Amino acid sequence: MKKTIVNLFTGFLGVGKTTALRHLIEHRPAHEKWAIIVNEFGEVGIDGAALSQDELAVAEIAGGCLCCVAGPQMTATVATLLRRERPDRLLIEASGLAHAAGVIDELRAKPLGEALEVGAVLTLVDPRQFIQPDYHRQPLYRDQISIADVLVANKIDTADVPTMEAFRQQAGALFPPKSLVGEVRNGELDPAWLDAAAAPKPRYRPAVPDDAAAQWRSMGWTFEPEQAFDGEKLTRFFDALPTLVPGLVRAKGVFKVLDSWVWLNWAAGQWGAAQVSWRRDSRFELIAEDFDAAAIESTLRECFE
């Protein structure tokens, strides 16, 4: 059975999600049947009568942001919509106060995961806020940035040149990297961006910093999001990295461990860990003078749950 593609659409309060969602709906491909789930009709500003004329199915998750009501209510709402409408694509607009990672976990789990294919997660940001450290200190804001496959700077007509340059530099340095970083005004998103989630690559070559030594090498590995890692084995792996990779310069990764996702970062002889909202895949990358790629991959696979 063909699965329905589901896209999560998120962004901080006041970033312009309403206008952007309307634009996507107005410019959706003629051959695709869409359905929409929103937290509250009033928040998104979509008139129910206009929607019925447009033959676009819209459902509401009542009771606040999706992350707070994810579970039986969301499962029932999504299942009913899929059964009744059989859409090609389902767009879920998450509240500006939603931790989107929990919603993605719910959509991938049974029974919804049997009918849905999680497509690109789109996060809208105001570039003037994005470059401010105070915003990145807020866990909710960090989560929305982290989980995005497609990061879009909206309201670029209100940002000056230095702001946009800073946005591009900071967005380009994010890990894991985004499949696409866009810039729009008035929420004019390209519907093609809904399919911009990066296809998994078992191996890839991360960019090496411009000021890096000429002899430095880099390598990255990705693993399917369903593949869980053992936390204790990962700890031993990161502890052993300097021995496994002589001349190690930098190593970092995101991994699914049990029911959570963790970010691990090795630099300057030590490593740290933190929880993250990234859900697209597990991945690990390093920069070093030299290394045995096959041996590293084998050791990583030994960390599987």
Q: Say if residue 104 is in the same domain as residue 185.
A: yes
Tell me which of 160, 193, 226 is where a domain ends.
193
| pLDDT value at 3 more than 90 | yes
Tell me which of 144, 162, 193 is where a domain ends.
193
For residue 30, the tally of other CB atoms under 10 A from its CB is: 4
Q: Say if residue 32 is in the same domain as residue 155.
A: yes
- Give per-residue burial for 249-272: e unless 16+ CB within 10 Å, then b: bbbbbbbbbeeebbbbbbeeeebe
| pLDDT value at 215 more than 50 | yes
- Name the residue range of residue 255's domain: 215-301
How much is the pLDDT for 211?
A: 59
Q: Say if residue 149 is in the same domain as residue 226.
A: no
CATH of the domain at 111: 3.40.50.300
User: Is there a domain that residue 13 lies in?
Assistant: yes
pTM: predicted TM-score of the whole model, two decimal places: 0.83
Residues 6+ apart with CB under 8 A from 201: 222
Name the residue type at position 42.
G
User: Is there a domain that residue 201 lies in?
Assistant: no
Q: Say if residue 20 is in the same domain as residue 80.
A: yes
Q: In which element (H, E) is residue 169 found?
A: helix 161-172
Cα gap 69→74, rounded to integer Å: 7
Q: Say if residue 10 is in the same domain as residue 156.
A: yes
Cα gap 89→20, rounded to integer Å: 17
Q: Say if residue 75 is in the same domain as residue 10.
A: yes
Q: Say if residue 168 is in the same domain as residue 225.
A: no
Q: Is 255 helix (H, G, I), strand (E, B) or coil?
A: strand
> Mean pLDDT of all residues in the chain?
87
Q: Say if residue 93 is in the same domain as residue 228.
A: no
| pLDDT value at 220 more than 70 | yes
Per-residue pLDDT tens digits for 109-120: 889 999 999 999
| pLDDT value at 302 more than 80 | yes
Q: What's the rounded mean pLDDT across residues 125-129?
A: 97
Q: Count how many domains the chain has.
A: 2
- 106 exposure class (CB count in 10 Å sphere: 0-12, 13-18, 19+): middle
| pLDDT value at 290 more than 70 | yes
Task: Cite the beta strand spans of the chain per DSSP E.
Answer: 4-11, 34-38, 57-60, 89-93, 116-118, 122-125, 150-153, 180-183, 203-204, 217-223, 248-257, 260-267, 270-275, 282-288
pLDDT tier at 98, thresholds 50, 70, 90: low
Phi/psi of residue 184, nearest 5 degrees: -140, 165
Q: Say if residue 34 is in the same domain as residue 159.
A: yes
